[in-house]
Structure 1
């Protein structure tokens, strides 16, 4: 038995644009519904969602019924948190709020076993099919994908240094926190924020690393695709449910 191939990582290497959706509803039922909706990847969020480890475990199990690749966002760039997500089978992680090369190296080290990193060893975790993948500790690195989120002017200034860290598989722009840190909270479409995003995409691509972003605004999403992003989330399950419910209610509300 071999370590499962990571199709998302392969696609990034081949420069095949990957279309994604954000999942914040923290439900294995929702994830199962979305797993065959046509997206290449689904972000299982734990930073800004009421998601805990057993729930993420269930969501990873549910998504195996579909063709969509799960990406898990930890609560923070924390080696213990990352270790636990890897052990339950996450192969691709989006690590938030990385601002410099040192933090990038810490993130990568959390995904590597000694002597290359600090990941703790477990003999029979779900990641190794409960010990059935005998060479898992030696073979897993090739299929792990480490994406780092840059979301402040400081982080953007350090894009080249972050990209130069060995083991970084992609750099993801977080537009919400970027806008807030630039003094434009809630205004992702502000001209200064858009200009910063466009510059960041160009600089990430110039380093040779794949560039990603969350862009739920259609105009911004299409602009980012035009600029050559390699992976992009174009909405969220929470947004789809909330806006869809509002639109349906509005159609029939106060109808005589």
Structure 2
């Protein structure tokens, strides 16, 4: 059994600490095939979106299997109550929305890791431990070192506390959510509003200065260049955005072609 392929992908903490840009994608669709396609396309990570997506926990586990098979590091965006089960399924990282301050980040980081580093409950019958094939102290040590915690800063309060959040031991990256931040600042979906962009810039620079990996949404190469210049290295696109745009472009191209005849 010890020669079997390990179900837990532990590359992400080192990737986040490497200083290199990482390109990933949010996926809210309950589809292992989409996960595989993202892996084969060359994305570094995929965020299985259990905040806004429709996958249940059983489907989440199937998508984690697909990620491992396709060689893409799987992050799960989930609420605090789901952290223990998602970790036991084999997530490479947990990305928690609406982290408001350092105390909140510290509590979440503790839930991510086994004692003595944290308070995670032990069970070695899980997929992450190979259903017992990779259990015991080795699994606890592998998980503590190889599973990342990404805190999401999405409100003015979080931006005000961004330095303290980033400096919490156990936080590997801080992701600024521009949509929620813009709404919370009174600008609706207008991410490009100058006050929102200033808040994002301040957040990214502060996270980088704290020695942690800054992240945000980058829907275009121009977004990546702009935010990369501010220190961002963990860039996320969105599956539905890319698919919907591709469909619209295909329809438009067909219509334009039809006009030629």
Alpha-carbon distance, 1:25 to partner: 1.5
1:134-213 to 2 correspondences below 5 Å: 134=136, 135-213=138-216
Task: Describe the superposition over 1:1-24 as per-residue Cα deviations: whole angstroms up to 9, x where unpaired.
Answer: 478562221122221211111212
Structure 1: gaps spanning 5 or more residues? none
Alpha-carbon distance, 1:222 to partner: 1.7
Match of residue 243 from structure 1: 245
Name which of 27, 48, 52 aligns with 1:48.
52
Alpha-carbon distance, 1:246 to partner: 1.5
Contact 2:73 2:92 in 1 (8 A): no
Match of residue 110 from structure 1: 111
TM-score (norm 1): 0.92
Match of residue 19 from structure 1: 23
SS at 2:40's partner residue? coil
Structure 2: gaps spanning 5 or more residues? none
* Distance (Å, rounded) in 2 between the aligned partners of 1:252 and 1:4: 44
TM-score (norm 2): 0.90
Alpha-carbon distance, 1:137 to partner: 2.2
* Distance (Å, rounded) in 1 between the aligned partners of 2:222 and 2:192: 9
Alpha-carbon RMSD: 1.8
* Distance (Å, rounded) in 1 between the aligned partners of 2:205 and 2:29: 32
Name which of 33, 37, 43 aligns with 1:29.
33
Alpha-carbon distance, 1:64 to partner: 1.8
Query: How many residues get paired?
Result: 252
Match of residue 58 from structure 1: 62
Match of residue 91 from structure 2: 90
- Stretch of structure 1 that moved more, 219-228 or 172-181: 219-228
- Stretch of structure 1 that moved more, 183-192 or 210-219: 210-219
Match of residue 254 from structure 2: 252
SS at 1:228's partner residue? coil
